[in-house]
Amino acid sequence: MSSKKMAIIASKGTLDMAYPPFILASTAAALGYEVQVFFTFYGLQLLRKDLSTVMVSPLANPAMPMPVPMPVMVQMLPGMESMATMMMKQKIKKHGVASLQELRDLCLEAEVKFTACQMTVDLFEFDKSEFIDDVEYGGAATFIGFAGETDICLFV
Amino acid sequence: MNFDKEFDLSGLSCPMPILKTKKALADMASGQVLKLISTDYGSVKDMQAFANQTGNTLLSTEESSGSYTFYMKKK
């Protein structure tokens, strides 16, 4: 029996938006799906060996719950991003939500295939040595080749 | 209910209860029963969905003061 398939495009590189692709990919793999994630544009940040630079910003993110209402003028002050990121990481820990690193490792362990967009690597002049080794590089046709055969296909 | 292995998932949020359940089942034999304890309300539906999609059997779900106990029989 051939397994079901799922493809995800991960295009965002912030701490909050990094979760959906890794959660869905690891879970689908646990449910027996063959999964591929295509990382493009800012999503490539999620392939860095060091994920500590992945942050969340309250700026232009009005749906983000804040402990106290914060005017945009305050949100743009230096250090606000680091503070918001630190606070979210504390919440993540407190509520038993896995870290990004842990979820990514679980994806790889479950043989989720990661493909990085070569065009984005060239565009932003990324250094491939900063990315984890378990990545293949390809383009739109690579993604569509797999996506065309999937049961679930998502853009995050 | 009799079980062969017990796994405590307390304090973990989605998707960890499912991922850990999958791992716990991996080194069990067909027909064996895994007892799971979770504090995640979302696991009530998720465990059923996991069973439906993987062919394992969810024998029962019990709730007791914010804690959920599942018995999962391996396919």
What's the rounded mean pLDDT across residues B8-24? 97
pLDDT at A69: 86
What's the rounded mean pLDDT across residues B34-58? 97
Could you tell me the mean pLDDT of each successive run of 10 residues in chain A, 156 residues long? 90 97 98 98 98 94 88 91 95 96 97 97 97 97 96 98
Q: Does A106 touch chain B (CB under 8 A)?
A: yes
- Look at B16 and A27 and tell me if their CB atoms are within 8 Å: no
Per-residue DSSP letters for A21-53? HHHHHHHHHHTT-EEEEEE-GGGGGGGBS-GGG
pLDDT at B38: 97
Which of A4, A6, A8, A23 is the best mutation test for B, with the most CBs of B within 10 A? A23
The CATH number given to B5-73 is 3.30.110.40
How many structural domains compose chain A? 1
| Extents of the domains making up chain B | 5-73
Nearest CA in chain B to A21: B15
Strands B67-73 and B57-64: antiparallel
pLDDT at B58: 98
pLDDT at B61: 97
Which DSSP state fits A58? S
Mean per-residue pLDDT over chain B, rounded: 97
pLDDT at A148: 97
pLDDT at A68: 86
A33 domain-assigned: yes
- The complex's ipTM works out to 0.90
A146 domain-assigned: yes
pLDDT at A70: 87
pLDDT at A66: 86
A71 domain-assigned: no
A144 domain-assigned: yes
CA dist., res. A35 & res. A58, Å (int): 31
Question: CATH no. for residue A11?
Answer: 3.40.1260.10
Provide the domain limits for residue A39. Answer: 5-55+100-155
